A and B are shown apart, each in its own frame.
Chain A
């Protein structure tokens, strides 16, 4: 198998497989959550559910001042790499091109040097987050193999993308193939791990806001 064969395999059949597993797996997970429903609530409401729910979806991007003071590292590093990851995923020129080719929707991309810098920061922040997980008493205590697995499958696409962009792996089709391979891995692992939080966290936040909102508290 040449490096070009490898690239064609990862972006062809393997990508199709990964997308299928991702779509089916995630649909099952979301159905498992939503189909459980909630019991009828007989208590007289003090406030609404929908709007407070949506507000909480938004507000949880911004931690309360007390939490920031008590865990500044978590908040800063966590925000940094999540935002970095999303910027690189959605605003890198080749990614925008791919989305355009696949879904026929497009938006302006960021210049390559900017995405390059954001990628470097994201990698650094991900490494810092891992070290923090290994050292912080609560994080270390809570962490399971799955937590380290999802860190790995999140880190790999970023680092392989960076290596491919800088031509640090040769030949190029091999570098790009490895990047796409790790993306496929990410997609296939997502529905079976807590990577589902990418989607379910919005549902969780809404329920949180709705439960509190009904009692007249914006959570």
Chain B
């Protein structure tokens, strides 16, 4: 395992480089099938036993709804995994294979054919999992299916490169602490406040996402102001500032574990009580729900999304705001935050503080529609046309309620909304909720 920082290999990183970052052997079909067997559990078996091909999951999927192409039906994306289950985990299936009555096999050619279905046309938004009449959690199985895709060498180039950069440099975009340091200096100059770094025993360790640091530096400024206002003890860590987890997106527990371990090490080194995931959906899912499982132990600290922390401060009366936005605002719930993590009311209570004219999208909260960019779709250049197609569902939702601005709390969603709205010539700016809160803080006397 080479985890030596070697940014030189980052730009043209290949699967061979990715292979270097994971323990044991090289990518192969056999390794992919082993990974799938490890993922097989009672829930998966119950799900595959129950699908009657009703196709309702298609009506829940933005990639199908906006393209009308039946191959994007969510359950179809799992056909190779289902075939392995049928042939190895059912008595009847095993007998059919033994008797030569079933000649189908999971092959490299099959996986190559399914690669775009499992990656380009799925943002793992989980909407299909809420709609399936027999109760199949399809998203849960897509996540598992990707484990085998990585191990068999069938992951998209863009995600492979991001994963290699994440492992070798600490950031999926190859961003270094010195870039963040420049941002910190800017924030300190603009606010006159100090950004705490490597403060032992702080209450909160704040993580950031590279995309935020590059595209939305206002986030760091916003939390610096809010935490100063609310008297929160917090810190950044020079040891680890990156919250995102390319391993979760590509679907590799090995890579995910290495990235999660860095956060855990940094949090333990500073002995913090809490870790805050930034305005990023998958980073939160990665560190909150998958992290302890990929490293196989519970954390000695709690994990929060920044929106949860802000809502707690609000409830404790530590967020004093003044004035309200008077334009018509609506909210995009990131899938990872709302449907997949149960953070739904928190952002609405915060909107109440600062929005005078708020309108919810018709389907929101657990039934919201994905922006189209999650689950690694945005790191996968090949998926660009599908990403834009899927966005049309969000666009239709936005058009229904005609907001003047959209508010969200995930940098990937935000970028996708901005790019998508621009593509369709819709003049609707997108803002982060944390910044919006920071704009309305009562000035200290």
Residue B89 at the chain A interface, CB threshold 8 Å: yes
Decide: B45 and A33 in contact? CB cutoff 8 A.
yes
Residue B58 at the chain A interface, CB threshold 8 Å: yes
Q: State A211–B43 Cα separation when bound (angstroms).
A: 9
One digit per residue, 1 when the CB lies within 8 angstroms of any chain A CB and 0 when it does not, for chain B 283-318 equals: 000001111110111110011000000000000000
Q: State A79–B262 Cα separation when bound (angstroms).
A: 51
Q: State A143–B140 Cα separation when bound (angstroms).
A: 23
Decide: B50 and A197 in contact? CB cutoff 8 A.
yes
Q: Which residue of A lies closest to B139 (CB)?
A: A211
The interface stretch among A63-71, A114-122, A166-174 is A63-71
Decide: B366 and A197 in contact? CB cutoff 8 A.
no
Given A137-B70, A138-B73, also A36-B53 (CB < 8 A):
no
Decide: B291 and A78 in contact? CB cutoff 8 A.
no
Decide: A39 and B135 in contact? CB cutoff 8 A.
no
* Chain B nearest CB, measured from A10 CB (Å): 25
Q: Which residue of A lies closest to B44 (CB)?
A: A36
* Chain A nearest CB, measured from B208 CB (Å): 22
Residue A15 at the chain B interface, CB threshold 8 Å: no
Given A38-B41, A38-B42, A44-B298, also A141-B289 (CB < 8 A):
no
Q: Which 3 A-B pairs have the closest CB atoms?
A: A216-B342, A205-B135, A42-B292
Decide: B49 and A29 in contact? CB cutoff 8 A.
yes
14 example contacts (A-B, Cβ-Cβ < 8 A) are as follows A32-B90, A42-B292, A43-B290, A43-B293, A60-B134, A64-B131, A137-B68, A203-B46, A203-B49, A207-B137, A212-B129, A212-B130, A212-B137, A219-B129
Residue B133 at the chain A interface, CB threshold 8 Å: yes
Could you say which residues of chain A place their CB within 8 Å of the CB of B137? 207-208, 211-212, 219
Near B by CB (< 8 A), chain A positions 160-219 give 191-192, 194, 196-197, 200-209, 211-212, 215-219
Given A32-B90, A141-B73, A196-B50, also A56-B135 (CB < 8 A):
yes
With A36-B89, A44-B292, A207-B46 given, name 10 new contacts (CB 8 A).
Answer: A32-B89, A36-B41, A41-B293, A140-B70, A197-B49, A197-B50, A208-B43, A211-B43, A216-B341, A216-B342
Residue B64 at the chain A interface, CB threshold 8 Å: yes
Q: State A219–B135 Cα separation when bound (angstroms).
A: 9
Chain A interface size, as a band, is 35 or more
Q: Please list the residues of chain A having a beta carbon within 8 angstroms of any beta carbon in chain B.
A: 28-29, 32-39, 41-44, 46-47, 56-57, 60, 63-64, 66-67, 70-71, 74, 78, 136-144, 147, 150, 191-192, 194, 196-197, 200-209, 211-212, 215-219
Q: Which residue of B lies closest to A46 (CB)?
A: B342
Decide: A147 and B135 in contact? CB cutoff 8 A.
no
Near A by CB (< 8 A), chain B positions 37-68 give 40-47, 49-56, 58-60, 64-65, 68
